[in-house]
Amino acid sequence: MLEKLDQTEQKALAELAHLDDEESLLQWRAEYLGKKSTVTEAFTVMRELSKEERPLVGKRANEVRQALESAMEARREAVKQRELMKALETDKLDVTLPGRTPQVGHLHPVTQTMRLIYRIFGDMGFQVYRSREVETDDYNFTFLNMPAHHPARDMWDTFYTNQEGVILRTHTSPGQVHAMREYHPDPIRVILPGMCFRYEQVSYRSEMQFTQVEGLAVGEDITFGDLKGTLSDFARRLFQREVRTRFRASHFPFTEPSAEMDMECFICGGEGCPVCKYTGWLEILGSGVVHPNVLRFGGYDPEKFTGFAFGIGPERLTMLLHQIDDIRNFWRNDLRFLEQF
Ligand code: DAH
């Protein structure tokens, strides 16, 4: 028995040296210290041994058991340590690495143009006046000198809502009447920026949804000359150079006389191309002297007050500023396009 204990001890210790995980350590313990192990067997057979042999075997069995138990604890500790080192090695955390910078966006190119426009008119003494996108038929048409059923309403293809008399504004002009009703009888110098909606065929020149910046000046001695000077100066300040512009007689129900301002086409330089419909000019705004009926609807006496108004298309201006040839890019949400500005 003594010999068997010696052999078992040697074998067990030799095997233990190769174990490197908790599971095999437990198996090892079952084998060498469990019920069917040599050590347990030694304690069982002891009873049948002679008086002389019994203490020897008992002592030796205890020694072996203790040796194996402490060797196993030591091994277990070593395994744990090694696993920790391995984890430290593979899950290495380098606190000196620079952080990942979050992607920072920027203003949409049209918003940038809008802000340029605000700044220029701000310098000229105009305040920003905001009004609603969902409008009444009265503000969008009637108060702008287009009574119900007047054919001039057909100039704007309109999104109607299922609430009688409520529509999406087709232009920022209804804001003029809101501003007048708030300011009268004081003089006014405001710009009215915002989104407009038209039930229209989308093309490279026009979208269903677009922004406008309306302008309105009302006072006692305002003339068409003020309008021309203000808008020509606006174009110069915006493009920061002398730009070729022209005022072309036009018609809007809410102004009399009315004019559109064109800018030389940036694509063809005035030669004529598809973008300018072969005219060499691009329309950038509509304008005119405020119609007496509109002043009246706003609460001003047209005998005493006059005014001018205009409506700018910031998308068009952005196209001119950055030589963009398709207005649909603005709503496509394609970062490859937007990141360029
Ligand atoms: N509201 C017009 C449109 O959407 C643009 C416009 C023309 C605005 C003349 C004005 C104006 O204030 O005086 O087409």
The rounded Å distance from CA 332 to ligand 1 centre is 26
Q: Say whether pLDDT at 147 is over 80.
A: yes
- Residue with CA at minimum distance from ligand 1 atom 4: 171
Is residue 302 a part of any domain in this protein? yes
Is residue 273 a part of any domain in this protein? yes
Describe the crossing of helices 53-90 and 38-45 by its angle, rounded to 10 degrees. Answer: 160
Query: Residue 215's pLDDT band (boundaries 50, 70, 90)?
Result: very high
* Mean pLDDT of the 52-73 span: 89
Range of the domain at 86: 2-90
Of 138 and 8, more confident: 138
Please give the Cα distance from 39 to 60 (Å, whole number). 9
Q: Say whether pLDDT at 323 is over 90.
A: no
pLDDT attached to residue 205: 74
Q: What percent of the chain has pLDDT over 90?
A: 57
Is residue 95 a part of any domain in this protein? no
Please give the single-letter amino acid code of residue 2.
Answer: L
Q: Say whether pLDDT at 266 is over 80.
A: no
pLDDT attached to residue 226: 97
Beta strands 134-136; 166-168: pairing state = antiparallel
Q: Which among 69, 65, 86, 68 is positioned nearest to 21, based on CA atoms?
A: 86
Q: Which among 8, 30, 50, 29 is positioned nearest to 58, based on CA atoms?
A: 50
Q: Say whether pLDDT at 321 is over 90.
A: no
Tell me the pLDDT tens digit for each residue of 27-51. Answer: 999 999 889 888 888 888 888 888 8
Q: What angle do CA 120, 124, 128 make, to 5 degrees?
A: 70
C-alpha distances in Å from residue 194, one per residue of 2, 134, 139, 188, 291: 100, 11, 15, 19, 23
- Residue with CA at minimum distance from ligand 1 atom 13: 287
Domain shared by 210 and 147, yes or no: yes
CB 318 within 8 A of CB 266: no
Task: Report the residue among 214, 248, 258 best suited for mutation to probe ligand 1: largest number of ligand atoms under 8 A from its CB.
Answer: 214
Alpha helix (H) residue ranges in 240-313: 292-298
Q: Which among 168, 135, 126 is positioned nearest to 312, based on CA atoms?
A: 126
Query: Residue 230's pLDDT band (boundaries 50, 70, 90)?
Result: very high
Is residue 101 a part of any domain in this protein? no
Domain shared by 228 and 310, yes or no: yes
* Mean pLDDT of the 67-73 span: 90
pLDDT attached to residue 88: 85
Residue 206 token pair: 């026009």
CB 329 near ligand 1, within 6 Å? no
CB 141 near ligand 1, within 6 Å? no
CB 143 within 8 A of CB 149: no
Domain shared by 84 and 116, yes or no: no
Domain count, the chain: 2
Domain shared by 134 and 38, yes or no: no
- Residue with CA at minimum distance from ligand 1 atom 10: 310
pLDDT attached to residue 274: 82
Residue 99 token pair: 């952080």
Domain shared by 146 and 79, yes or no: no
Please give the Cα distance from 292 to 138 (Å, whole number). 17
Please give the Cα distance from 107 to 114 (Å, whole number). 10
Domain shared by 230 and 140, yes or no: yes
Tell if the pTM clears 0.85, that is, is over it. no
Is residue 100 a part of any domain in this protein? no
Tally the C-alpha atoms within 13 A of residue 98's C-alpha that lie toward its C-beta: 3
The rounded Å distance from CA 145 to ligand 1 centre is 12
Query: Residue 113's pLDDT band (boundaries 50, 70, 90)?
Result: very high
What is the overall mean pLDDT for the chain? 92
Domain shared by 85 and 135, yes or no: no
Domain shared by 228 and 258, yes or no: yes
* Mean pLDDT of the 305-319 span: 95
Domain shared by 24 and 138, yes or no: no
Q: Say whether pLDDT at 155 is over 80.
A: yes
Task: Please give the DSSP secondary-structure letter assigned to residue 171.
Answer: S
Task: Please give the DSSP secondary-structure letter assigned to residue 272.
Answer: -
Task: Please give the DSSP secondary-structure letter assigned to residue 187.
Answer: -
pLDDT attached to residue 268: 84
Please give the single-letter amino acid code of residue 220.
Answer: E
Domain shared by 235 and 314, yes or no: yes
Helix (H) or strand (E) run with residue 18 in it: none
Please give the Cα distance from 341 to 192 (Å, whole number). 24
* Mean pLDDT of the 15-32 span: 89
Top-ranked range on mean pLDDT: pick from 2-16, 75-89, 117-131, 267-281: 117-131
Query: Residue 185's pLDDT band (boundaries 50, 70, 90)?
Result: very high
CB 172 within 8 A of CB 194: yes
Q: Which among 134, 216, 119, 136 is positioned nearest to 173, based on CA atoms?
A: 216
Query: Residue 246 is part of a domain; what is its CATH number?
Result: 3.30.930.10
Is residue 210 a part of any domain in this protein? yes
